[in-house]
Structure 1
């Protein structure tokens, strides 16, 4: 390793790329696209889903793991675009979270788990989604 500051110049950082993966959803294989989120957006998602409570003078931080995973999926999945109003209308819902919930109702649990795992991998996590959630809690 060198101590060359030029390796850290903005232009030396690679642009994140969209990747395609075949995923089984609703009993059928579908080609989906994913793009990793920035660390900055990741921080915002974790903070959005974090609650701080005071219990006997101690700060207790809790993370709503279901909402965090949903937000991560929505922000990482580019095709289908869960924020697309026409797609939402076709499912009879308004909002990306509501669309994801409607889709989950038509999926096997293992299919949703596969989607979550792919999203974690695309974002550079070598850990399972449950380990990711445990980290988010802290």
Structure 2
């Protein structure tokens, strides 16, 4: 296959949903995740930016907490955090608000595992050892 053919649209694989069992709220629960495309992740990142002007200089900061929450909401497909019935059951309106309500019933470690899985699904998990191995090859 030529280098050109490596980049034809048909050669790109569709992102598949991944099922994982996570401990959330003290119970193992089946959850489903689907990685975001780069354009969607960029749009989320841009929506989480704050622009400040300090002494005439424009400073752009990303609200990391808001970015992570939005990434979790958009990547997690089961439970569907956008589901109005689920939000109603928790007494909230909005996917991020539902996540925050669920987070209040979790340990920090459980929430950390959820966010780690989301990072892994989206390809942000390359550890130093993996990078060293890639560099060797």
Asked if these proteins are the same fold (TM beyond 0.5), I'd say: yes
- Map of 1:116 onto structure 2: 115
What is the TM-score normalised by the length of structure 1? 0.87
Structure 1 stretches lacking a partner, 5+ long: 129-138
Conserved in 2, the CA contact under 8 Å of 1:120 and 1:127? no
* Alignment check: 8 A CA contact 1:83 1:96 kept: yes
Residue 18 of structure 2 corresponds to which residue in structure 1?
A: 19
TM score, norm. by length of structure 2: 0.88
Instruction: Quote how far apart the aligned CAs of 1:50 are.
Output: 0.5
Give the C-alpha shift of residue 58 in structure 1. Answer: 2.1
Q: Note the 1:99-138 alignment, pairs <5 A.
A: 99-126=98-125
What is the alpha-carbon distance in structure 1 between the residues aligned to residue 3 and residue 60 of structure 2?
Answer: 39
Q: From the superposition, tell whether residues 70 and 13 of structure 1 become closer, same or farther in structure 2 (CA, over 3 Å).
A: same
State the alpha-carbon separation in 1 of the partners of residues 85 and 24 from structure 2.
19
Instruction: Give the aligned length.
Output: 127
1:1-138 alignment runs, 5 A limit:
4-126=3-125
Q: Which runs of structure 1 show a deviation greater than 6 angstroms over 4 or more consecutive aligned residues? A: none
Partner deviation per Cα, 1:55-88 (whole Å, 9 max, x = no partner): 1122211111111101000000000000011111
Aligned mates of 1:126, 1:80 — CA distance in 2: 22
- The 1-side partners of 2:63 and 2:126 are apart by 18
Indicate the structure (1 or 2) with the bigger Cα radius of gyration.
Answer: 2
Structure with greater contact order relative to length (CA < 8 Å, sep ≥ 6): 1
